Amino acid sequence: MRKTTFVVAAGAALALVLTGCGSKSENGTAAPAGDKASSGIASPFANVLELANASKQGTAKSKSSKMSMTMSVGGKNVTAEGLMSYDPANLKMSMTMTTDGEQSEIRLIDKTMYMKLPASEASQMGTDKPWVKISPDANDPISKALAGSMSQASEQSDPTKILDQISEAGRIVSSDQTTLDGQPVNHYKFEIDIAKSMDKMLASVPAESQAQVKELLKGKDIKMPAELWVNKDQLPLQITMDESEMMKAMGVPASAAGSGKIVVKYSDWGAPVEVTAPPADQVADLGELAKHMGG
């Protein structure tokens, strides 16, 4: 399969899965949750489990938000913005992604992922239709790999799931109170143990690739730094991660690894999310295209 924008975007989605890696500890410098400070925001939680539970309650009420992301994938700069619904019974997403100046659009509805490609990329994939569909029950290797990574990525963009996984593989390093975009926030720093989070990090990756990654990282003690900002309602406003050390450990050249930093921002909690599938006559099935691309 050619290295199209589609593949790069899928890589970006897979990198979002990495934001589902995380930490668990009741140690660290976070102060106990207590009386509200003069800013109107409560003191930071002492452990990540309490933080995750409080954030779940806020997110369950809001159910949706706007989301934006900046990151680097394979040396390419990627930005994305859109709307996401975190209701587990009705996951929906509408996102526009730009990779080195080329724009694509992604929609998730009824467990099916659709991607709108630039005309040049569609031509490379052997279709004149602007959209490709990744069916959750597709049997070809390309569709299965991308459907798994992108579907899980959309779920992992749910910040409560991120916090759940943060509770399993590391520790809180520190916390403080500050402002972000003019709002008072609690700011947490985490240290993530990659070895402990490996299985979840690679859950949607094909078995062969999982084995390769695990072999590359075998015996290596890698801690990934991450940060989280939450508002007075315990709703996440920003999450950052730095994958550069993991990329180096995997032998990824610096020119291809980029900075390895991911920034995800959440805003407009509770915003309505309306997503519709593209017209059927404008959609090509990735599984069918894969047959012609040797996938």
Query: What domains does the chain contain, in order, with CATH numbers?
Result: 5-292 (2.50.20.20)
Mean pLDDT of 66-75: 80
Q: What is the DSSP letter of 273?
A: -
> Looking at the predicted structure, is the pLDDT value of residue 182 above 80?
yes
pLDDT over 70 for what percent of the chain?
70
> Looking at the predicted structure, is the pLDDT value of residue 8 above 70?
no
Question: Among 46-50, 103-107, 198-202, which is the least confidently predicted range?
Answer: 198-202
Pick the more confident residue, 286 or 19. Answer: 286
> Looking at the predicted structure, is the pLDDT value of residue 146 above 80?
no
pLDDT tens track for 228-242: 999 999 999 998 888
Whether residue 225 contacts residue 202, with contact meaning beta carbons closer than 8 Å, is answered with no
Pairing of strands 112-116, 131-134: antiparallel
Mean pLDDT of 208-230: 84
Q: Which of 131-135, 140-144, 168-172, 279-283 has the highest mean pLDDT?
A: 279-283
Band of pLDDT at residue 223, cut at 50, 70 and 90: confident
For position 135, what pLDDT does the model report?
77
Closest CA to 15 of 111, 157, 131: 157
Q: What is the dihedral of CA 162, 137, 81, 158, to 10 degrees?
A: -20
Pick the more confident residue, 256 or 234. Answer: 234
Mean pLDDT of 208-222: 81
> Looking at the predicted structure, is the pLDDT value of residue 64 above 50?
yes
> Looking at the predicted structure, is the pLDDT value of residue 205 above 70?
no
> Looking at the predicted structure, is the pLDDT value of residue 174 above 90?
yes
Place of tokens 């084995």: 211
Band of pLDDT at residue 294, cut at 50, 70 and 90: low
For position 19, what pLDDT does the model report?
37
In one-letter notation, the amino acid at residue 37 is A
Mean pLDDT of 119-138: 80
> Alpha carbon of 206 to those of 18, 145, 174, 209, 211: distances in Å?
15, 6, 36, 5, 9
In one-letter notation, the amino acid at residue 41 is I
Using a cut of 0.85, tell me whether the model's pTM lies above it: no
For position 268, what pLDDT does the model report?
95
For position 30, what pLDDT does the model report?
36
| Contacts for 23 with CB less than 8 Å, ≥ 6 apart | 48, 166, 167, 168, 169, 170, 171, 172, 190, 191, 192, 193, 226
> Looking at the predicted structure, is the pLDDT value of residue 214 above 70?
yes
Give the three-class secondary structure for 37.
coil
Q: Taken in order 138, 141, 146, 148, is the CA torsion positive or negative? A: positive
For position 177, what pLDDT does the model report?
96
